[in-house]
Amino acid sequence: MALQNLGEGRSRPSFSRYFGMSRSAMASPATFMALMAPGVAIVAAFFLIPLVLVAMEVANGPDGWATYLVILTNARYFESLVQTLLMSAGVTVVALILCGIVGMFLVRNRFSGRSVLIGLLTLPLSFPGTVVGFMVIMLAGRQGAVGSISNALIGEKIVFAYEIAGLFIGYLYFSIPRVILAVMASAEKLDPQLEEAARSLGAPRWRVVRDVILPGLMPGLISSGAICFATAMGAFGTAFTLATDIDVLPMVIYTEFTRNANIAVAAALSIALGLITWLCLSAVRFLVGEKADLATRGGA
Amino acid sequence: MNATAMAQPGSQTVQTEKTGGTRIELAGCTKTFPDGTRALLPFDLTINGGETLVLLGPSGCGKTTILRLIAGLEFPDAGGKITFGADDVTSQSIEKRRVGMVFQSYALFPNMTVAENVAYGLKVQKVERRERDERVRAMLEMMHIDMLADRRIDQLSGGQRQRVALARAIALRPRVLLLDEPLTALDAKLRVTLRTEINSLLRKLGITAIYVTHDQEEAMALGDRIVVMQKGAIAQIGTPREIYRAPRSPFVADFVGASNRLDGRIEQNSLVLGDIKIGLEQIGHAVEGGPNGHHDGNTGQGAADVYFRADGLAICTPDQGQMRGRVEAISYLGEKSRLTVSGIGESAITLDVDPDFQIAIGDDIHCRFNPERLTVFGRHSNARNAAQTM
């Protein structure tokens, strides 16, 4: 009974939901505590304790709590933050558009080679970031395929693996499987008769997409977009392999920590990175989450 | 409903039919699916203006495909022609056809309220805000759901949802209303209530309607005419009474509820069942074999299928009895009791008795035929020729 109740909670950004206070059919306090214990233990071991330790590193540093402001006051850190944010947001948007179209198509159409195609599209799930970075170098690096072809054709080597474009492609490649799988899961649940109903009422294609398909896919797009954004914000392997011109925030943290032994700054940047990522995700959930939550209910 | 009221605001075409509904014609239509399956064999079908036509048949018989052809969700094979009134809509897609659709799954937009759902079509057609609100309110009132206007779809019961779906479909004053098993997902009692409501709604609007169902009772209750479908072909078209009393083939008889079947013979203008002989002139409905059989009583010679409902046999005293059977099961249905009787035909026969009739499982009963309630099909299409040569 208690488990059922807990499972019923929807991912809506309201306090009463998060803390389960308003649930009328609550289990007895003892059962509730027993059920909460594993969760509390995991949160403590993997989240609270490391976070506190990192936060203490900041406090013990030369500048104390003021270190947190370094991300705003130091031009290099601030620029890195902006670049990382723009990059992640860009990757997320492009991945959502691309995978929204592809995922919808894959669900609605049956053709030979379909399952092979799905398999190929979801393959990057099994690659670590370093491998993806390596693949981008093979594609667009100094000895890459694009460079060789362009050299043969126009006598000029096109190389973009080590700039923002390379990083962008790497991250995108990395994100596609998650987003496609989530879109496909949402699309499977979309009743094709909803589209037929809209069309019978005279709605042209673009309106069907806007009024029926997008609201139906929204929960999948939000959740996979959130994962995509968070992954891109923290991705390190690809950036490290590419050794890009641009400093993404995880790279900056790595450099401060290992090379400069600037532990307090690294810790402050770490917490800032986590906090900003979380804030962005919460903002998106809050703005579109309510609508998307509605869209998934009802129907047949 | 007069002609101007049927016209849709914002469109130039004005309905001219005096009947108040659009006449729909399908001529020479066939449907073959891309994988080569023949979903519909060649057929012609006319639905009169304001008529409610029911497409009845088991699943996979092609009834929904006909509906989708009329909707513009499927298109007939080359050579087929579909007209709405004087309008050739064969190649028109659904967006242009002005059809109202009601689905089994309701297909309401979950991200919109009840009122927004009903208003959607009007909004797409750019009907001005004030008129839109006015029409939505009128629709909701007509369907008795005006108090639900601001509810979300997930807060509605199945019956309420289907009312919203109906309101949404007729809000645009479509040329034809297409209903695809709209009551199948509802429970039995609600099904009957809503069926009655839909019936009076269709009469009130005078709209042409096509209703797909596999439920014989629903078809009889709603249809001006019923089209019984079998394996992609039309088995029979007729009024509910014709379909019920004068089925044209064993399939139709069986599908509309004449579930008892006996093997008989036709000899010299009489039906012979074992040692019982009934003059064909007494038989309610006799058809010679073959697809174009007619009930002229002259059913030739040879083997015959005899179909009848639970009222085709009646219990009687032993001296009047034509045959004897043994009660295997009794179902008390309230206004009657239905007996399952063995020993009369190869398979068990059902017959109805007064619910207060004293009888127990294992009892022997005597019964006789009610010839008017029998339907006889000669089994050979050349039975008539055989009779002539004799």
Per-residue pLDDT of B65-78, as tens digits, reads 999 999 999 999 98
Do B212 and B277 lie in one domain? The reply is no
Instruction: Judge whether residue B290 has pLDDT over 60.
Output: no
How confident is the model at residue B1, as a pLDDT?
39
pLDDT of residue B14: 38
Residue B253 lies in a domain: no
Q: Do B30 and B171 lie in a common domain?
A: yes
Is residue B3 scored above 80 in pLDDT?
Answer: no
Interface with chain B: mutation pick from A200, A293, A297, highest number of B CBs within 10 Å: A200
Q: Which of A199, A201, A222, A297 to mutate to test the interface with B (most CBs of B within 10 A)?
A: A201
Q: Would residue B254 count as lying in a domain?
A: no
- For B294-349, the pLDDT digits (tens) are 444 454 568 888 888 888 888 888 888 888 888 999 988 888 888 888 888 788 88
Q: Which amino acid is present at B164?
A: V
Residues B345 and B378 in one domain: no
Q: Does B389 touch chain A (CB under 8 A)?
A: no
Residue B171, in any domain of the structure: yes
- With an 8 Å Cβ cutoff, are A196 and B94 in contact? yes
Q: Do A193 and B120 touch (CB under 8 A)?
A: no
Domain membership flag for residue B252: no
- Min distance A177 CA to chain B CA atoms (Å): 27
Domain-embedded: residue B255: no
| Domain that includes residue B142, residue range | 3-245
Q: Which residue of A has its CA nearest to B124?
A: A203
Neighboring chain A residues of B152 at a CB cutoff of 8 Å:
294, 297-298
Q: Which residue has the tokens 């469109």?
A: B11
- If asked whether residues B321 and B212 sit together in one domain, one would say no
CB nearest A295 (choices: B93, B95, B110): B110
CATH number where B329 lies: 2.40.50.140
Q: Residue B195 falls within a domain, yes or no?
A: yes
Which chain A residues have a beta carbon less than 8 Å from that of B155? 298
CB contact (8 A) between residue B153 and residue A298: yes
Residues B144 and B9 in one domain: yes
Tokens of B126: 């750019």
Q: Does residue B273 register a pLDDT over 70? A: yes
The count of structural domains within chain B is 3
> What global pTM score does this model have?
0.76
A202 and B95 in contact by Cβ < 8 A? yes
Is ipTM > 0.90 here? no
User: What are the residues of chain A with a beta carbon less than 8 Å away from any beta carbon of chain B?
Assistant: 191, 193-194, 196-204, 207, 211-212, 215-216, 291, 294-300
* Same-domain pairing of B159 and B180: yes
Domain A66-296 is found in CATH 1.10.3720.10: yes
Measured between beta carbons, the chain B residues lying within 8 angstroms of A291 are 111
Which of A211, A221, A206 is CA-nearest to residue A96?
A221
Identify whether B377 is part of a domain.
Answer: yes
Ranges of each domain in chain A = 66-296
**CATH code where residue B229 lies:** 3.40.50.300
Instruction: List chain B residues with CB under 8 Å of A297.
Output: 110, 152-154
Q: What angle do CA A232, A238, A244 make, to 5 degrees?
A: 100
Same domain, B303 and B325: no
